[in-house]
């Protein structure tokens, strides 16, 4: 190939790769396989290696980091990157509109509402369609040049497409962020490597963008969404909504949840709906940004020194609050794990009064250096147990006593060991009342044996009065005995008695889960039950045999073997059997063609709801999980499939579109 031919081919390859990046990273709709894509990149790399002077900054080969910055160059923003005024109520939003009306009397206002993604604000400069610079917000006036690191973000185009690519200058602003799932994975990896985890996705994104070594940034998948034109020469836009649509055409990714709101009431409805959806978003968002749609009006309204007058941030209710630690207690779980927890001065967070927060384990207590009496920041997000985020610095902290994990079980006083390589200390006494209580609660829980009325108050008494020492004792309780418990009238005692009796027929999988064997969750219990068919056969199986079962492996097999090596456990199982607890697999009617298969659903389906799809899979013996892992068998992608599809591709998991899924489940 001579030089002109190489030049032409390079141009062609770059265009193709750019197109496929967009399909893959922005639209989630790839057209070619990963291998085909890699072949294009490889060919381009080889040509560029042969003609190094043809390498340009916007070449897709220049994404992968490797450049180590000395420090970041300062970038003075052409127009300052302002912050936003806040609204915390609907009244505040109405007042915002009233202010607009006073500034521009007689005018009507339309709005655009956007999720306020919690990440790192950046400004991207495109010159004639080529990304020439990316900068952080910094103090708003001067930011840092982080071009090398931003280039590693795959959803960020290095070159624009269509009409916007023609503009001499286009500066757009947006947010770099890390999806919750990626954040959790990153933290797990950091912890495994013995490094400090990030407190939240925003810090993780900021830490990654400001990495000196862009090779590290490249390994931490970040995303970007663009939400503002800050400068355009010439300026082709008339409304903000129109600008966002043109962004999309140009290959700039725009949040899929942006809405055009013709009236303030529409915007208010949007704010409330997004807040209700908050925990289900794939990224952290702390509010909604409401912007006046007409750019002419924006221009006339102008800005104060701090914020634009044409936009406002509606803040969701805070999920964090400060309070004081009254005491650090140590709980004992059903496996004997000692878990430190903070007893707090009650504080209201997002509508609930919080008086307890988990401290996870002793290492976490050391990392946070929390001490009794400390003022702390507590977070309550979604369904997760409230946790302590950090200690608020106070001079008194230094004179408070550091927390020391007890060496003995705080409940039964037995020695508590910390097995080598583990983060938790465990009470070794399996008859420890705290362990027995937790085991009973787990056994009776809805997903195990589902014993209604077997709550904490009842369990505490049963154990404290010595009526129940192990799971089998439950089935020997009588109505008169139960009726003697505090706050349990004859009728409730009968109800509980009947609930215990009914639980005998739950079947092997739920029984196995209920026994609380280490590493045996619901799914593993199902696999074990399906393979052995009965408790008897499971008891006879060796660890080696169990480890052979697909989905079990040596760690789980060892957990099972260890459990049944304890005579006490075997005795309990025998007594459960004698009491009439069913020890065979419960076989639900109908064929189970999807047994052992794991599915992840993403996007929307036209022929059924996501819930119906989930039910269908479960009925056919399959399982539906939330996150894609290497163990996922199929990702079923409907319309507007999200990041899970991307995860599937990366992990090499089979993906099915709706039609293929219907064929698989026999509905086509
Ligand atoms: S507009 C002058 N739109 O929130 C206009 N900002 O407090 C300001 N943010 O620093 C930017 N999502 O980093 C805008 N859809 C969105 C946003 C957004 C998140 C961040 C941004 C800014 C901060 C303002």
Q: Say if ligand 1 is within 6 A of residue 177 CB.
A: no
Q: Is residue 541 part of a domain?
A: yes
Atom of ligand 1 nearest to the CA of 121: 13
Question: Tokens 């497409």 map to which residue?
Answer: 161
Q: What is the pLDDT of residue 292?
A: 98
Atom of ligand 1 nearest to the CA of 137: 10
- 647 and 565 in one domain? no
Binned at pLDDT 50, 70 and 90, residue 36 comes out as: confident
CATH code, 53: 1.10.287.610
* Closest CA to ligand 1's atom 17: 116
- Asked, as a colleague might, if the bond just before 531 is cis with ω within 30 of 0, I would say no
* Closest CA to ligand 1's atom 19: 116
Atom of ligand 1 nearest to the CA of 118: 19
Q: Say if ligand 1 is within 6 A of residue 130 CB.
A: no
Calculate helix-pair angle for 433-444, 456-464, nearest 10 degrees.
140
- 267 and 182 in one domain? yes
Atom of ligand 1 nearest to the CA of 258: 15
Whole-number Å distance, alpha carbon 228 to ligand 1 midpoint, is: 9
* Closest CA to ligand 1's atom 16: 116
- 540 and 525 in one domain? yes
Q: Say if ligand 1 is within 6 A of residue 121 CB.
A: yes
CB 114 within 8 A of CB 182: no
- 193 and 161 in one domain? yes
Whole-number Å distance, alpha carbon 320 to ligand 1 midpoint, is: 21
Query: For the chain, how many structural domains are there in total?
Result: 6
Is residue 587 scored above 60 in pLDDT? no
Q: Say if ligand 1 is within 6 A of residue 347 CB.
A: no
Is residue 194 scored above 70 in pLDDT? no
What share of the chain has pLDDT > 90, as a percent?
58
Binned at pLDDT 50, 70 and 90, residue 510 comes out as: very high
Q: Say if ligand 1 is within 6 A of residue 227 CB.
A: yes
Mutate to test the pocket of ligand 1, among 229, 274, 289 (most ligand atoms within 8 A of CB): 289
Q: Is residue 406 part of a domain?
A: no
DSSP 67-117: PBPSSPPEEE-SS------EE-SHHHHHHHHHHHHHHSTT----EEEEEEE
- 539 and 472 in one domain? no
Q: Say if ligand 1 is within 6 A of residue 143 CB.
A: no
Whole-number Å distance, alpha carbon 450 to ligand 1 midpoint, is: 48
Q: Say if ligand 1 is within 6 A of residue 315 CB.
A: no
CATH code, 573: 1.10.150.20
Mutate to test the pocket of ligand 1, among 80, 84, 85, 298 (most ligand atoms within 8 A of CB): 84
Q: Say if ligand 1 is within 6 A of residue 118 CB.
A: no
Whole-number Å distance, alpha carbon 240 to ligand 1 midpoint, is: 14
Residue span of the structural domain in which 108 resides = 85-315
pLDDT, averaged across the chain: 89
Selection from 156, 158, 152, 155 nearest residue 219 by Cα: 152
- Average the pLDDT over each of 181-185, 522-526, 592-596 and give the range with the smallest value: 592-596
Q: Say if ligand 1 is within 6 A of residue 117 CB.
A: yes
Burial environment of residue 165 by CB neighbours within 10 A (0 to 12, 13 to 18, 19 or more)? middle
621-654 in b/e form (b: 16+ CB < 10 A) is bbbbeeebeeebebbbbbeebebbbbbbbeeebe
Whole-number Å distance, alpha carbon 115 to ligand 1 midpoint, is: 9
Atom of ligand 1 nearest to the CA of 175: 13
Atom of ligand 1 nearest to the CA of 119: 13
Selection from 60, 50, 70, 49 nearest residue 11 by Cα: 60
Is residue 218 scored above 80 in pLDDT? no
Cα gap 214→225, rounded to integer Å:
20
Q: Say if ligand 1 is within 6 A of residue 624 CB.
A: no
- Which residue, of 315, 330, 350, is where some domain finishes? 315
Q: Say if ligand 1 is within 6 A of residue 313 CB.
A: yes
Q: Say if ligand 1 is within 6 A of residue 136 CB.
A: no
Mutate to test the pocket of ligand 1, among 77, 111, 121 (most ligand atoms within 8 A of CB): 121
Phi, psi dihedral angles at 665 (to 5 degrees): -90, 10
- 514 and 499 in one domain? no
Binned at pLDDT 50, 70 and 90, residue 588 comes out as: low
Cα gap 324→378, rounded to integer Å:
10
DSSP β-ladder status, 169-177 and 223-233? antiparallel
Q: Say if ligand 1 is within 6 A of residue 82 CB.
A: yes
Cα gap 100→309, rounded to integer Å:
8
Is residue 126 scored above 50 in pLDDT? yes
Burial environment of residue 4 by CB neighbours within 10 A (0 to 12, 13 to 18, 19 or more)? exposed
- 546 and 468 in one domain? no
Q: What is the pLDDT of residue 640?
A: 81
Q: What is the pLDDT of residue 593?
A: 80
Q: Say if ligand 1 is within 6 A of residue 17 CB.
A: no
Question: Tokens 């897709």 map to which residue?
Answer: 60
Mean pLDDT, range 484-497, rounded to an integer: 89
Mean pLDDT, range 445-457, rounded to an integer: 91
pTM above 0.95, yes or no: no
Is residue 75 scored above 50 in pLDDT? yes
Q: Is residue 410 part of a domain?
A: no
Binned at pLDDT 50, 70 and 90, residue 1 comes out as: confident
Atom of ligand 1 nearest to the CA of 303: 2
- 251 and 297 in one domain? yes
* Closest CA to ligand 1's atom 2: 82
Q: Is residue 413 part of a domain?
A: no
CATH code, 106: 3.30.470.30
Q: Is residue 591 part of a domain?
A: no
Is residue 66 scored above 50 in pLDDT? no
Q: What is the pLDDT of residue 207?
A: 86
Binned at pLDDT 50, 70 and 90, residue 589 comes out as: low
Mutate to test the pocket of ligand 1, among 175, 241, 298 (most ligand atoms within 8 A of CB): 175
Quick one: CA dihedral 219, 223, 229, 232, positive or negative?
positive
- Which residue, of 315, 350, 385, is where some domain finishes? 315
Selection from 126, 143, 144 nearest residue 58 by Cα: 126
- 394 and 466 in one domain? no
State both tokens at 305.
């020194």
Q: Is residue 492 part of a domain?
A: yes
The CA-based dihedral angle spanning residues 126, 132, 136, 137, taken in that order and rounded to the nearest 10 degrees: -40
- Which residue, of 461, 485, 505, is where some domain finishes? 505
Q: What is the pLDDT of residue 120?
A: 93
- 132 and 227 in one domain? yes
- 254 and 228 in one domain? yes
Q: Is residue 99 part of a domain?
A: yes
Positions marked catalytic: 116
Atom of ligand 1 nearest to the CA of 308: 2
- 128 and 36 in one domain? no
Is residue 637 scored above 50 in pLDDT? yes
Is residue 60 scored above 90 in pLDDT? no
């Amino acid at each position: 190939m001579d030089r002109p031919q190489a030049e032409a081919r390079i141009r062609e390859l770059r265009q193709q790769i750019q197109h496929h990046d967009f399909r893959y990273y922005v639209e989630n709709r790839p057209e070619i396989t990963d291998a085909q894509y890699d072949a294009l990149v490889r060919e381009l790399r080889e040509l560029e290696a042969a003609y190094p002077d043809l390498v340009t900054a916007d070449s897709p080969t220049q994404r992968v980091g490797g450049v180590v910055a000395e420090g970041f160059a300062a970038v003075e923003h052409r127009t300052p990157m302002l912050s936003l005024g806040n609204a915390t109520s609907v009244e505040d939003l109405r007042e915002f509109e009233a202010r607009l009306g006073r500034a521009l009397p007689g005018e009507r206002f339309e709005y655009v509402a956007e999720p306020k993604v919690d990440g790192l604000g950046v400004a991207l400069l495109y010159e004639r369609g080529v990304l020439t610079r990316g900068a952080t917000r910094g103090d708003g006036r001067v930011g840092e040049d982080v071009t090398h690191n931003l280039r590693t973000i795959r959803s960020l185009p290095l070159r624009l497409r269509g009409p916007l690519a023609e503009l001499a200058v286009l500066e757009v602003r947006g947010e770099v962020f890390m999806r919750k799932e990626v954040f959790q994975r990153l933290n797990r990896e950091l912890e495994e490597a013995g490094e400090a985890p990030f407190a939240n996705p925003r810090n993780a994104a900021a830490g990654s963008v400001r990495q000196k070594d862009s090779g590290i940034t490249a390994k931490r998948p970040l995303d970007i969404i663009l939400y503002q034109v800050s400068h355009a020469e010439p300026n082709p836009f008339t409304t903000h909504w129109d600008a966002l649509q043109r962004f999309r055409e140009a290959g700039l990714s725009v949040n899929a949840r942006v809405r055009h709101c013709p009236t303030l009431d529409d915007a208010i409805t949007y704010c409330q709906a997004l807040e209700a959806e908050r925990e289900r978003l794939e990224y952290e968002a702390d509010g909604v940004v409401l912007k006046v749609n007409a750019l002419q009006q924006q221009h006339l309204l102008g800005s104060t020194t701090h914020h634009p007058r044409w936009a406002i941030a509606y803040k969701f209710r805070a999920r964090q609050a400060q309070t004081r630690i009254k005491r650090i207690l140590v709980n004992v779980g059903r496996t004997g794990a000692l878990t430190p927890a903070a007893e707090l001065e009650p504080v209201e967070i997002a509508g609930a009064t919080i008086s307890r927060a988990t401290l996870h384990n002793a290492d976490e207590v050391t990392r946070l250096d929390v001490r009794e009496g400390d003022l702390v920041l507590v977070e309550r997000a979604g369904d997760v147990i409230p946790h302590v985020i950090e200690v608020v610095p106070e001079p008194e902290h230094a004179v408070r006593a550091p927390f020391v994990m007890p060496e003995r079980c705080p409940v039964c006083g037995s020695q508590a060991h910390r097995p080598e390589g583990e983060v938790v200390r465990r009470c070794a006494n399996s008859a420890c009342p705290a362990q027995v209580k937790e085991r009973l609660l787990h056994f009776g829980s809805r997903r195990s044996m589902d014993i209604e009325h077997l709550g904490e108050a009842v369990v505490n008494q049963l154990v404290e009065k010595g009526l129940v020492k192990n799971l089998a004792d439950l089935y020997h309780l009588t109505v008169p005995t139960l009726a003697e418990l505090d706050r349990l009238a004859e009728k409730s005692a009968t109800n509980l008695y009947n609930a215990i009796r009914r639980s005998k027929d739950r079947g092997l999988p739920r029984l196995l889960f209920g026994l609380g064997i280490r590493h045996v969750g619901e799914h593993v219990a199902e696999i074990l039950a399906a393979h052995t068919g009965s408790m008897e056969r499971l008891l006879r199986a060796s660890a080696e045999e169990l480890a052979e079962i697909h989905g079990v492996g040596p760690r789980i097999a060892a957990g099972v073997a260890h459990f049944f090596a304890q005579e006490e456990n075997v005795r309990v199982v025998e007594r459960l059997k004698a009491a009439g607890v069913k020890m065979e697999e419960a076989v639900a009617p109908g064929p189970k063609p999807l047994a052992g298969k794991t599915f992840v659903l993403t996007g929307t389906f036209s022929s059924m709801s996501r819930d119906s799809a989930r039910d269908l899979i479960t009925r056919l013996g399959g399982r539906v999980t939330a996150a894609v892992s290497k163990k996922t068998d199929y990702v079923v992608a409907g319309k507007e499939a999200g990041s899970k599809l991307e995860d599937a591709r990366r992990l090499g998991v089979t993906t099915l579109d709706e039609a293929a899924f219907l064929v698989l489940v026999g509905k086509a």
